[in-house]
Amino acid sequence: MLDLDLHLPLGANTLAVRLASPGPVLGLLGASGVGKSTLLRVIAGLDRRAVGTVSALGEGWQGPGVFRPPWERGIGWAPQDAALFPHLSVLDNLSFVSARDVHEIAALLRIERLLGRMPRLLSGGERQRVAVGRALACAPRLLLLDEPFAALDHALRAQVRADLAAWCGKRALPAVIVSHDEADLDAFNAQVWVVEADGVRQR
């Protein structure tokens, strides 16, 4: 599903990443500030400082003389701090690309009653779920989730991640999930790689 062979400059350090994940869901675990989010941005094609190759879904996305721009990768990215479009309602955020499945996705993430609201009126956990919904609604071929459940309380967190895992499983939608909580990754049966200062290793 995903192959990375990269050198990623992070401040004074360089993170060496050699990773092959054949399964549908890859989990990235590690302390904060170690470069997990940056790695996700590299996979999205947003961070071009990394030197090396990125292959996903059997296609070359980055390599010598190759760079596929973000808008041609078919990804759905939910950044850690949501970054909801502040000028659009929750419904308009979700249907930014397509209005198909929006109500089903809203029900999945328990955000139906928020559809008419503007992002500035949402709590942190609500924003994160809308960001995940927005990523799902663009009909991605690969989902990139950055700490998607971090701001949710315990009970809701378990429910939402189980339902989201089932949704992805039913549609055979591959995903890369960044989390510092192993329970999040296990809910998706993710193949877990641990990111550390000197590189990555499989758990």
Partner 1 sequence: MTLDPGTAIALSVSVGAASTALALLPATAIAWVLARREFRGKAVLSALVMAPLVLPPVVTGLLLLRLFGRATPLGGALAALGLPVTFSTFGAVLAAGVVGFPLFVITLRTAFEAVDRRFEEVSMTLGVPPRQTFFRVTLPLALPGLFAGIVLAFARGLGEFGATTMLAGNIEGETRTIALAVYALLDAPDGEAQARVLVGASLALSLAALAAFEALNRWQRRRLELDGHARS
Q: Which is nearer to partner 1, 60 or 74 (CB)?
A: 74
Q: Which is nearer to partner 1, 35 or 125 (CB)?
A: 125
Minimum distance, C-beta of residue 44 to partner 1, in the bound complex (Å): 5
Minimum distance, C-beta of residue 115 to partner 1, in the bound complex (Å): 18
Q: What is the per-residue DSSP string for 134-190?
A: HHHHT--SEEEEESTTTTS-HHHHHHHHHHHHHHHHHHT--EEEEES-HHHHHHTTP
Q: Which is nearer to partner 1, 1 or 137 (CB)?
A: 137
In the complex, which residues of this chain contact partner 1 (CB under 8 A)? 44-46, 69-77, 79, 83, 85-87, 96-97, 119-120, 123-124, 134-135, 138, 144
Minimum distance, C-beta of residue 49 to partner 1, in the bound complex (Å): 15
Q: Which is nearer to partner 1, 134 or 161 (CB)?
A: 134
Nearest to 28 by CA among 9, 46, 2, 7: 2
